[in-house]
Structure 1
């Protein structure tokens, strides 16, 4: 069943943050990127890091690794390779990294503010994978990325990874420019896959799992070797069916705060639209909303 693009557009107007609205305009309406950068700067701190619930599961203003990861992901989406904030973020990551080159899951300052139950101060380093992946895609040459990359490969090649650590590790494998090594590394994840291509999330809500499209969101990447075409197509069909009556998509992890729910729904709705487009389920042209509909940027 095709998705309702007009309803998706209205959902973004109803519930998405200004940041996601501007990003949607760039991705789908060929809008300029400067409004995205301007909106993103509001989440930046004087120390070069990012906070202020840019990653909705940490509500405090202080700089956190998950927020830096989110910022780099947005800068990657708009191809902001030369933006000085990219290198400044890498500098901040180096300032908070631990001795093995990884970065902490949550810094201690988060304990003073509302946070998801799984966002407690910890030196667990699994955010390092996706953070390094964004920097590789942004073309960064930075000392922290060198040490972080070494840490990522060591974890992937010596440990059995599960849950979201497996997701983020596959993000890294898809981004790092070592094709032969990546080709061998993805096979380490095959035994963890269920028949439908998903993996369960230990300790998550009932039935929480990560789908094949979350494990391998982009065609033509090394991780795609793990999944037969029919699994990807079935996942795309399911993703289309999961659009709700209000036009948006929901997420399957814990809804613990009204603000968190609203913000995550805007993020995942835009992510799902972009995934569907990347797989040919939405036209690449700016007419995706229909000739009689206003563009996502509302002009």
Structure 2
């Protein structure tokens, strides 16, 4: 194993948000997930949604679907999707959902604040609906929004003969969680042509060479999306992830760094995600928080 957890923790204490520090403490040191839950609460607005740059590419305080996805993903990583936060977030999603059951990727309120250049409001339902529906299926929360959102996901998959980029990534998040294994397996296979020979997913219009790697597309063993990848592709990507730790102890993302705060916040998120993925896939033993 080549991972330096001491250096990773030092990086987080030097550069990352409190939220990622608490996730690391829960993941590596076996501390309670309760501080993670409480840290998320300060990002939740009275309307039940999340904002305040919880998702680093939308910097405003108002609730946004991308911030809700981030919040639920954090809870999922510490096995805490049973928190009441989840049901409140689902109720907010219902208030911004369109007649088709989906949610826009970016709401108009984002225009009043700094944001990444790709975070442009559009009225139509977008690919975050896949990810949000998948996380709610993981949670076990049977909110009324989930059924029409799920129908939107199936319809969107059927209507797009050539999905690409983050549509594929978030569709896999949905297919890994929806409780319809046969239908999900068929849909996963239809996404195979979007992948490059090494199993990665090119991102049209991204930075030079930007792509989503196999372990980002399918982070959990035994999920339906694993059918897309060979053992060799996954082992190669695990090797890459191990060796991507920087000298300062952290990991990085390959998409555009458009402001200093966003850059460091994503690096903190990427560092926690890398450690969690390596542990989940047998490359890192975190029993008893041993370094």
Same fold (TM over 0.5): yes
**Counterpart position of 1:129:** 130
> Matched residue pairs, number?
289
**Counterpart position of 1:12:** 12
For residues 24-173 of structure 1, the aligned pairs below 5 Å read 24-122=24-122, 123-159=124-160, 160-173=162-175
What is the alpha-carbon distance in structure 2 between the residues aligned to residue 112 and residue 288 of structure 1? 45
Q: Does 1:208 align with 2:210?
A: yes
What is the alpha-carbon distance in structure 2 between the residues aligned to residue 60 and residue 118 of structure 1? 15
Give the TM-score normalised by structure 2. Answer: 0.97
What is the alpha-carbon distance in structure 1 between the residues aligned to residue 38 and residue 4 of structure 2? 30
Give the drift of 1:208. 0.5
**Counterpart position of 1:292:** none
Can you give the 5+ residue segments of structure 2 that lack an aligned partner in the other structure?
A: none
What is the alpha-carbon distance in structure 1 between the residues aligned to residue 47 and residue 247 of structure 2? 42
What is the alpha-carbon distance in structure 1 between the residues aligned to residue 270 and residue 290 of structure 2? 18
Pairwise CA RMSD: 1.1
Deviations 1:29-69 (A, max 9, x none): 22112111111111111111110000000000011110111
Can you give the 5+ residue segments of structure 1 that lack an aligned partner in the other structure?
A: 290-299
Deviating more after overlay: 20-29 vs 267-276: 20-29
**Counterpart position of 1:270:** 272
What is the alpha-carbon distance in structure 2 between the residues aligned to residue 23 and residue 202 of structure 1? 32
Give the drift of 1:2. 1.3
Deviations 1:174-195 (A, max 9, x none): 0111111111111111112111
What is the alpha-carbon distance in structure 2 between the residues aligned to residue 266 and residue 81 of structure 1? 21
Deviations 1:260-291 (A, max 9, x none): 001000001100110000111100303432xx
